């Protein structure tokens, strides 16, 4: 939806009060906006980030109570109570999110449910503070001097806040945060490999959505003037979830469409008020099973069907293709590393050394421990014994995210791309840790953030050009054929300016023509200065590229040296081909 | 009539086709070796035959009947047992439990199951010794013996073994291949996917050489041993 | 006080057990579980109260009805999502939640919010007998023994071939398929089994908790807490955790106020999970890349 459409919708929203007859209609419209605010935040957390929250109603309660108590019991003005509510709810959200560091997504959804119940209970229990069942009465309207924001003025106030939230949320989603959230949702390993701290990301998403819920709560309290614990049962949390799912999880306009659809219907069906939970339940069930992308998703699918023919506008050509920056190469030393899974030894007492800036290959038959070694170096598996030194620094025990942050990047055996993002957005994911603009700068679209976004995109583009995929920059990553997916992963790894790059079977599944391209690409990557370690089967490729080779056999070092030395070594040939060498060199080379 | 007949098989993952018009046939009691480098599609072929992967095009026939759309359960009932690569055992369960699960759905009378199990324990004393240990605690070689023992218990008519030599010492590989031969001698047909080309060729009746999802060539294993075709498929 | 805790704990343990039963083959969790228990309690109470059938007949009917609903839940809310390519993500969280909402609303409309009395199975009674320093009823003893018996029964089941096949599915789906194990069929069976356990929990919970619509939400959380704290997948852990949670509740009610029970147990379970994510008796998993 372009700028024009946004302005049109905003214009309609601004003019709406004039078209409505009667106070009740205005009340409903205001309430719609309040709920829209909350759903906006929930969509970021659950839709984009994949963290299902069944506790947002409780967060609204926290916001409402903080604002109401602040204004009624402590005489604060609305303009103080509102930010206070947001901060208070943000803290509650942070508390709710702490367990996510160690627990997985579905556990977590139940924890939000538990939290919500606890908060509901505390609203009643902490009577001295919250007034228990009687609730908080007489919440005043916001005022500036003598002027009171009631009726239409209040509506416009809420509209302004909702619109601001829409813009800020949009900015965050379009930035590295949005990309990281989608990685969290769809392919967490890709995020870890790019050095993104998923735990921190989850907390950030939670706090942000909690703050919006808090703002919504404050508005809710003002609008209702009386709030009691009854207003904030689990039903409310479920209602918000329904609106998000109805509109479309993870869709930019899902919240608005969902809120509209939701509010318009019951207004036509006021008689069915008492059936509402039944309708919510049936609606959630049908949507989740049959239409998981909601209304927005369905609309997008229709639009895509018709927009197929239009090619995206070509990216403006760079006046000079700036050369890619030199990368520092780190040397890698593996010392006596061992790893077992249960009773099976995957890697035993392995040592190898890779000089900085060189290309090294790790080869060996299936099951020899090559990929395990790669996972040990990059921290995806914990090491049982031994040391791994990257540029002299022992990284054992650090964890994959920290190791990736420190300049060790990798590709995966099966490429891990985020299908919902475009090719270039996937590449930009690799620059997450390098981006300097703060969250606030991005949220407010300040010049530095905007500048950086352009620079990062250009940077990603240059790496895409480097791997030969710049023409597909704006295509959805889900539509890219397998062989090219790997190239995108390589570009993503390079954007992180690695000092050590590990490629996991990059040649698997490539055609002969694609293999040549890959060989040239890896040579060019080495030319940039980074140290490259390839785990590979294709001995031809290895012979052409690698300056040194390590051969593994059943988890142990079989041979090491230059490709020539190693590939003529009888033990290596025997291990690879089994039995005699293929060129018929007789029994003397049979395996021991 | 052949036991298993495959014509023009195409299959893969999602929209990506890995196998490209693969045809092969296996007769009763025949040992067929399928060799080729990585990414040749050997595992994909086995997975399609056993029904784990749906075929996109082509036909699979069992004793003349079309079984292209069969589920893994249906194929197992017909007598096709697929031991997937990587020694797919239930590692958290005991050796005894793994052996017992080999009888799942086979509908054998209790005493027949008992007899076969005693037989297997006699043949593999190490498994008897470790019968209460979790399968994950066994060494690689012992795990491979366990999978072969499972196959012996089920007594399939066609056994498909995917890279049984993976990560195993040559001595153990000898043992395993020996057992495979024993099975074949009992009338069980075998499809053996192996990266130890020479060993596979030594015991096979027929061989198929694959590369990039296609069959480059096939014929009596004896004839294909040491051929250029083989070398090309492996080292290119 | 201890007996009170053991009684409530038994019910929590039963709910947690029904959670584990579903989790094993599917790695999912039925958010309608609490409401299934509640429905079991209310249905049984209604049949006894309105239709005046003998207790065991009412219990039997209840078990059949709840199991059927559990089966429908799998059919409609879980199977379609799990069979999506890629496993369907976490959509089952919302779909089973939806089923729970539907059950709660329909039941609420039919019977209203008032709690109903649900007597224990004859010949047991809730009359207290003095046994040394403690007073306990025959019902309570039978309940505690019953839970232990159910755990033992389930352990025996999971030692059988079918039971081990269910465990195998979660461990290696492909290998299970190749051995002729049908994950969907066994998942369905597990849902039905969990329905049986949930129904029993509801029927037996009556004397302790009173059959009311609000029971569902509370038991869902308690059951989840027991399962998570015990270690998802470990029935012995669940029983242990169930008792501890109930004990904590009783102590919190005495020390603070009844209204703080939920908060205290929730925080305690959360802290336990933060320190020991695999629960008391669970197993740590291995991440695969």
Residues A127 and A276 reside in one and the same domain: yes
Question: What pLDDT is stored for residue A577 in this prediction?
Answer: 54
Q: Which of A564, A560, A582 is closest to A573 using CA atoms? A: A582
- A270 and A342 share one domain: no
Can you read off the two tokens belonging to residue A132? 């228990």
Residue A323 in domain: no
Taking an 8 Å cut-off on Cβ atoms, the answer to whether C228 and A113 are in contact is no
Query: What is the model's pLDDT at position B198?
Result: 82
Q: What is the pLDDT of residue A407?
A: 93
- Helix C235-255 vs helix C215-230: crossing angle, to nearest 10: 120
Q: Which residues of A83-94 are buried (b: 16+ CB within 10 A; e: fewer)?
A: ebbbbbbbbbbe
In whole angstroms, give the CA distance from residue A240 to residue B82. 48
- Hey, which residues 108-167 in chain B have their CB within 8 Å of chain A? 134, 136-140, 143, 163, 165-167
Q: What is the ipTM of this complex?
A: 0.90
Contact status of C214 with chain A (Cβ, < 8 Å): no
Q: A526 with A583, same domain?
A: yes
The H helix count followed by the E strand count for chain A is: 24, 12
Q: Domain range for residue A225?
A: 34-297
Distances (CA, A) of A575 to A69, B195, B196: 76, 10, 8
Residue C64 is predicted with a pLDDT of 96
Residues B72-108 have pLDDT tens digits of 999 999 999 999 887 789 988 999 999 999 999 999 9
Nearest CA in chain B to A515: B236
> Cβ distance B184 to B27 under 8 Å?
no
pLDDT at A583: 37
- More confident site: A429 or C276: A429
User: pLDDT (tens digit, 9 = 90+) per residue, B11-26?
Assistant: 987 777 889 899 999 9
Q: What pLDDT is attached to residue C286? A: 40
C72 close to A (CB below 8 A): no
Is residue A56 in a domain? yes
**What residues of B are in contact with residue A482 (Cβ under 8 Å)?**
16
Tell me how far apart the alpha carbons of residues A377 and A385 are, in angstroms, rounded to a whole number.
12
Whether residue A333 contacts residue A533, with contact meaning beta carbons closer than 8 Å, is answered with: no
CA A130 to CA C287: how far, in whole Å?
45
Helix ranges, B90-227 (H): 95-101, 110-123, 125-129, 140-154, 170-185, 197-203, 221-224
Among A368, A579, A580, select the one facing B167 at the smallest CB separation.
Answer: A368
Kindly state whether residues A273 and A384 are assigned to the same domain: no
pLDDT of residue A312: 54
Asked if B88's CB is within 8 angstroms of C174's CB, the reply is: yes
Q: What are phi and psi of A477, to 5 degrees?
A: -60, -25
User: Rounded to an integer, what distance in angstroms lies between the CA atom of residue A403 and that of residue A410?
Assistant: 11
Name the minimum distance, in Å, from the CA of A553 to any CA of chain B: 7
Confidence of residue B149 (pLDDT cuts 50, 70, 90): very high
Domain total of chain A:
2
Does residue A346 sit in the same domain as residue A480? yes
Residue B205 has pLDDT above 90, yes or no: yes
Q: Min CA distance, A366 vs chain B (Å)?
A: 6
Record: contact C179-B101, CB cut-off 8 A: yes
Could B37 and A537 be called an inter-chain contact, meaning their C-beta atoms sit closer than 8 Å? yes
Number of A/C CB contacts below 8 angstroms equals 115
C-alpha span between C243 and B35 (Å, rounded): 59
Q: Are residues A510 and A444 in the same domain?
A: yes
Burial of A566 (0-12, 13-18, 19+ CB in 10 A): buried
**What is the Cα–Cα distance from B13 to C86, expressed in whole angstroms?**
12
A228 lies within 8 A of chain C by CB = no
My answer on whether A251 and A368 are in the same domain is no
CATH of the domain at A581: 3.40.50.300
Per the model's pLDDT, the better-predicted residue between C137 and C193 turns out to be C193
In a domain, A307, yes or no: no
Place of tokens 């015991």: B203
CATH number at residue A182: 1.10.3470
**Cα–Cα distances in angstroms (integers) from residue A67 to residues A62, A117, A215, A218, in the given order:** 8, 21, 9, 5
Nearest CA-CA partner of C9 in C198, C181, C244: C244
Q: Quote the pLDDT of residue A584.
A: 36
Longest dimension (CA), chain C: 61
Q: Are residues A258 and A397 in the same domain?
A: no
Distance from CA of C259 to the nearest CA of A (A): 6
A393 plus A538 within the same structural domain: yes
- Return the pLDDT at C49: 84
Q: Which residues of A touch B144 (CB under 8 A)?
A: none
On whether the CB atoms of residues C234 and C242 are closer than 8 A, the answer is no
Inspect the interface and report whether the beta carbons of C161 and B101 lie closer than 8 Å: yes
Answer yes or no: is A310 within a domain.
no
A313 backbone dihedrals φ, ψ, rounded to 5°: -60, 140
The answer to the question of residue A293 being in a domain is yes
Average pLDDT over every residue of C3-10: 86
Tokens of B127: 């498994």
pLDDT, tens digit, 9 for 90 and up, residues C205-220: 877 787 888 888 889 9
**pLDDT over 90 (residue C103):** yes
pLDDT of residue B4: 94
Which domain-ending residue is among A272, A297, A322? A297
* pLDDT of the residue at B132: 93
Tell which residue, A299, A300, A360, has the closest CA to residue A334: A360
Q: List Cβ neighbours of A91 (8 Å cut-off, separation of 6 or more).
A: none
Are A388 and A340 spatial neighbours (Cβ–Cβ below 8 Å)?
no
Residuewise pLDDT in 10s, chain A (592 residues): 578 888 888 998 888 888 888 888 888 889 999 999 999 999 999 999 988 899 999 999 999 999 999 999 898 989 999 999 999 999 999 988 887 777 776 777 888 888 888 998 888 888 888 888 888 888 888 888 888 888 889 999 999 999 999 999 999 999 999 999 999 999 999 999 999 999 899 999 999 999 999 999 999 999 988 999 988 888 889 889 889 998 998 898 999 999 988 777 766 556 667 777 888 889 889 988 888 888 888 888 888 787 765 555 444 444 345 678 888 899 999 999 999 987 778 899 999 999 999 999 999 877 788 999 999 999 999 999 999 999 999 999 998 999 999 999 999 988 899 988 999 999 999 999 988 888 888 999 899 999 999 999 999 999 999 998 988 899 889 888 877 899 999 999 999 999 999 999 998 777 777 888 899 999 999 999 999 999 987 777 888 889 999 999 888 998 899 988 888 887 777 666 554 333 333 333 333 3
Q: Is residue A386 domain-resident?
A: yes
- Work out the pLDDT band at C289, boundaries 50, 70, 90: very low
| Chains near A (3 or more Cβ pairs under 8 Å) | B, C
Residue B69 touches partner A, C-beta closer than 8 Å: no
Facing residue for C228 by CB, picked from A107, A234, A381: A107
Which element (helix H / strand E) includes A560? strand A556-561
Beta strands A500-504 and A408-410: pairing type?
A: parallel
A269 and A397 together in one domain: no
Using CB atoms, which residue from A121, A274, A292 is nearest to C91? Answer: A292
Domains along the sequence of chain B with CATH = 4-88+157-235 (3.40.50.300)
């Amino acid at each position: 939806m372009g700028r024009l459409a946004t302005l049109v919708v905003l214009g309609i929203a601004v003019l709406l009060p004039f078209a409505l007859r009667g106070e009740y209609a205005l009340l409903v419209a205001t309430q719609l906006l309040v709920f829209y605010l909350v759903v906006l935040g929930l969509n970021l957390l659950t839709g984009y980030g994949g963290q299902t929250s069944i506790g947002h109603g409780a967060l609204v309660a926290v916001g409402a109570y903080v604002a109401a108590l602040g204004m009624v019991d402590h005489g604060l003005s609305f303009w103080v109570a509102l930010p206070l509510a947001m901060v208070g709810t943000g803290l509650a959200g942070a508390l709710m999110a702490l367990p996510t560091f160690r627990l997985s997504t579905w556990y977590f959804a139940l924890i939000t449910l538990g939290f919500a119940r606890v908060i509901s209970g505390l609203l009643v229990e902490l009577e001295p503070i919250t007034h228990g069942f009687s609730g908080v009465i007489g919440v005043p309207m916001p005022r500036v001097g003598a002027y009171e924001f009631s009726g239409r003025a209040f509506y416009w106030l809420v509209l302004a806040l909702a619109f601001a939230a829409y813009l800020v949320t949009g900015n965050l989603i379009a930035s590295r945060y949005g990309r990281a959230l989608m990685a969290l949702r769809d392919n967490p390993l890709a995020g870890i490999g790019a050095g993104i701290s998923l735990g921190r990301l989850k907390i950030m998403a939670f706090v942000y959505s909690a703050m919006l819920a808090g703002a919504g709560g404050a508005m809710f309290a003002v609008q209702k003037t009386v709030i009691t614990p009854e207003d904030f049962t689990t039903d409310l949390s479920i209602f918000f979830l329904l609106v998000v799912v109805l509109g479309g999880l993870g869709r930019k306009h899902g919240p608005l469409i969902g809120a509209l659809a939701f509010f318009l219907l019951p207004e036509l069906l006021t008689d069915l008020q008492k059936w509402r939970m039944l309708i919510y339940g049936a609606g959630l069930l049908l949507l989740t099973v049959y239409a998981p992308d909601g209304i927005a998703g369905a609309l997008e699918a229709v639009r895509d069907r018709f927009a197929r023919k239009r090619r995206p506008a070509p990216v403006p050509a760079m006046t000079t293709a700036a050369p890619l920056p030199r990368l520092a190469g780190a040397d890698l030393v593996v010392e006596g590393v061992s790893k077992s899974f249960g009773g099976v030894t995957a890697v035993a007492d392995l040592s190898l050394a890779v000089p900085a800036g060189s290309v090294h290959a790790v080869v060996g038959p299936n099951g020899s421990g090559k990929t395990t070694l790669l996972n040990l170096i990059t921290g995806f598996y914990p090491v049982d014994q031994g040391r791994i030194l990257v540029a002299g620094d022992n990284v054992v025990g650090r964890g994959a995210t920290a190791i990736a942050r420190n300049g060790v990047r990798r590709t995966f055996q099966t490429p891990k791309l985020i299908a919902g993002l475009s090719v270039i957005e996937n590449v930009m994911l690799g620059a997450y840790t390098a981006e300097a603009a703060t969250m606030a700068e991005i949220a407010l679209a300040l010049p530095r953030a905007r500048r950086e976004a352009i620079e990062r995109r250009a940077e990603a583009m240059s790496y895409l050009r480097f791997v030969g995929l710049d023409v597909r920059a704006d295509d959805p990553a889900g539509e890219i054929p397998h062989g090219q997916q790997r190239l995108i992963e390589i570009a993503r790894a390079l954007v992180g300016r690695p000092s050590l790059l590990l490629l996991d079977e990059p040649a698997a599944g490539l055609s002969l023509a694609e293999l040549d391209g890959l060989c040239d690409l890896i040579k060019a990557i080495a030319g940039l200065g980074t140290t490259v370690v390839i785990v590979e089967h294709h001995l031809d490729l290895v012979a052409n590229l690698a300056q040194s080779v390590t051969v593994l056999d059943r988890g142990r070092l079989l041979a090491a040296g230059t490709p020539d030395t190693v590939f003529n070594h009888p033990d290596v040939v025997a291990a690879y081909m089994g039995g005699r060498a293929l060129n018929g060199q007789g029994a003397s080379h049979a395996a021991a | 009539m052949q036991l298993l007949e495959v014509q023009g098989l195409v299959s893969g993952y999602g929209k990506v086709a890995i196998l490209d018009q693969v045809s092969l046939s296996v007769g009763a009691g025949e040992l067929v070796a399928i060799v080729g480098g990585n990414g040749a599609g050997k595992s994909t072929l086995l997975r399609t035959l056993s029904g784990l992967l749906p075929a996109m095009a082509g036909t699979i026939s069992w004793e003349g009947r079309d079984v292209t759309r069969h589920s893994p359960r249906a194929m197992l009932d017909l007598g096709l047992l697929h031991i997937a690569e990587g020694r797919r055992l239930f590692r958290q369960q005991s050796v005894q439990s793994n052996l017992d699960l080999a009888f799942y759905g086979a509908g054998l009378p209790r005493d027949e199951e008992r007899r076969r199990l005693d037989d297997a324990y006699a043949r593999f004393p190490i498994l008897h010794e470790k019968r209460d240990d979790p399968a994950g605690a066994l060494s690689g070689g012992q795990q491979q013996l366990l999978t072969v023992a499972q196959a012996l218990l089920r007594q399939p008519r066609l056994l498909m073994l995917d890279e049984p030599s993976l990560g195993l010492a040559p001595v153990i590989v000898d043992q395993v291949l020996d057992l495979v031969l024993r099975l074949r001698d009992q009338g069980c047909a075998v499809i053996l996917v192996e990266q130890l080309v020479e060993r596979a060729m030594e015991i096979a009746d027929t061989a198929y050489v694959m590369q990039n999802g296609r069959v480059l060539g096939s014929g009596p294993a004896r004839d294909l041993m040491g051929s250029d075709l083989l070398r090309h498929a492996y080292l290119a | 006080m201890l007996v009170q805790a053991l009684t409530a704990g038994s019910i929590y343990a039963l709910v947690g057990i029904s959670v584990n039963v579903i989790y094993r083959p599917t790695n999912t969790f039925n958010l309608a579980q609490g409401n299934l228990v509640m429905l079991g309690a209310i249905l049984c109470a209604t049949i006894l109260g309105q239709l005046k059938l003998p207790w065991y007949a009412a219990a039997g009917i209840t078990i059949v009805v709840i199991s059927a609903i559990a089966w429908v839940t799998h059919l409609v809310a879980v199977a379609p999502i799990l069979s999506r390519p890629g496993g369907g993500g976490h959509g089952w969280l919302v779909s089973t939640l939806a089923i729970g909402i539907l059950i709660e609303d329909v039941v609420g409309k039919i019977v209203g919010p008032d709690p109903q009395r649900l007597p224990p199975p004859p010949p047991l009674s809730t009359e207290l007998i003095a046994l040394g320093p403690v007073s306990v009823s025959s019902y309570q003893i039978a309940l505690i023994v019953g839970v232990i018996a159910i755990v033992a029964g389930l352990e025996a089941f999971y030692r059988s071939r079918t039971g081990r096949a269910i465990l195998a599915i979660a461990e290696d789906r492909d290998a299970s398929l190749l051995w002729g194990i049908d994950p969907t069929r066994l998942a369905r069976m597990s849902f039905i089994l969990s329905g049986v356990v949930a129904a029993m929990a509801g029927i037996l919970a009556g004397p302790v908790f009173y059959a009311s619509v609000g029971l569902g939400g509370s038991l869902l959380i308690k059951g989840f807490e027991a399962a998570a704290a015990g270690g998802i997948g470990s029935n012995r852990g669940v029983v242990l955790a169930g008792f501890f949670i109930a004990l904590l509740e009783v102590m919190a009610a005495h020390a603070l106020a009844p209204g703080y029970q939920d908060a205290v147990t929730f925080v305690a379970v959360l802290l336990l999970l933060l320190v020991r994510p695999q629960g008391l008796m669970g197993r740590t998993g291995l991440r695969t890349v």
